[in-house]
Amino acid sequence: MNKTTATLLGLIFTDGCLSPKGRNSWRFYFSNKSQRLVSIFKESIMQEFALPENRVRLDMTSDGLHRAIVDSKEAGQLFTEKFGTFRTLRYKNGELPKTKLPIEELIRHNVVKEFLQSAFSCDGGVSLYVARRKTKKDEAKWLIRGVYLACAHPKLRKEYITLLQSLGITACDAGDGKVKIRDKENMKKFYQKVGFIDGVHITHTSRFWPNIEKQKLLEKMIDSYHNPKETYSLRQFTLR
């Protein structure tokens, strides 16, 4: 496994899928609000399977998602035989799919960073906001900080935590469908050893941080430990 494979896997396990197409073929599908991530998916899958550019179909859905689609019997068979299913959501009968991350391969080939960076860039984010609570005399306030990855599959959440641990980063299953990194030391390690893909933005619907790059917000959150007063005074936190 190389960096390209790890990046591609991180994208498919989060905002992508690989499913049968008819009786004899397979379809790779990836969709995201970020054109940057769709471009990386396109480049990665072309490189992984030596595909010409015209094999990757690009378009946009009615709700504003950019997407890429590749139909390939050979590529689909190769990936399903090697990595199994990529489904993360429960089946209609409530059963969990037997999905698993290729932990040993990622660690052995030293490409954990590339896999996690792709996954966090798709389904992860940064929490940085001011929490407030009224008291009898005053108003208490404090900063909420964190890095998270949303994942519906409980077994995969444990495996993401294992991969983070392989890089010396401690995370937890928060019980709300998310893997979370909550303390200063480990968020700094995440920033140094994983981070987010440059050019990937938070969506415009974010309450406090619309359209900011995820990596820039991660940097801002790390900086907030050195100057919390500056963060408290930000315009988006002072407007009530």
For 85-134, the pLDDT digits (tens) are: 999 999 999 899 999 999 999 999 999 999 999 999 999 999 999 887 77
- Residue 184 is predicted with a pLDDT of 95
| Model confidence band, residue 136 (pLDDT cutoffs 50, 70, 90) | low
Q: What is the largest CA-CA distance in the chain?
A: 70
89, 152 Cβ separation under 8 angstroms: yes
**pLDDT of 240 above 60:** no
Is residue 157 pLDDT above 60, yes or no? Answer: yes
Q: What is the 3-state secondary structure (H, E, C) of 101-137?
A: CCHHHHHHCCCHHHHHHHHHHHHEEEEEEEEEEECCC
Sheet containing 124-134, strands listed edge to edge, beginning at the edge strand earlier in sequence: 124-134, 139-150, 178-181, 172-173
51-87: per-residue pLDDT in tens? 999 999 999 988 889 999 999 999 999 999 999 999 9
Average pLDDT taken over every residue of the chain: 93
**If DSSP codes are grouped into helix, strand and coil, which group holds residue 27?**
strand
The answer to whether the beta carbons of residues 198 and 215 sit under 8 Å apart is yes
User: Region 16-28: what's the mean pLDDT?
Assistant: 93
Residue indicated by tokens 């801002």: 220
Q: Is 55 helix (H, G, I), strand (E, B) or coil?
A: helix
Q: What is the pTM of this model?
A: 0.94
Task: Copy the structure tokens of residue 235.
Answer: 């315009």
Q: How many Å apart are CA 116 and CA 129, to the nearest integer? A: 24
Tokens of 147: 């890095």
Per-residue confidence (pLDDT) for residue 131, from 0 to 100: 86
Whether 140 has a pLDDT exceeding 90, the answer reads: no
**Token representation of residue 96:** 């969990």
pLDDT at 64: 87
**CB contact burial 153-168 (16+ within 10 A = b; e otherwise):** beebbebbbebbeeee
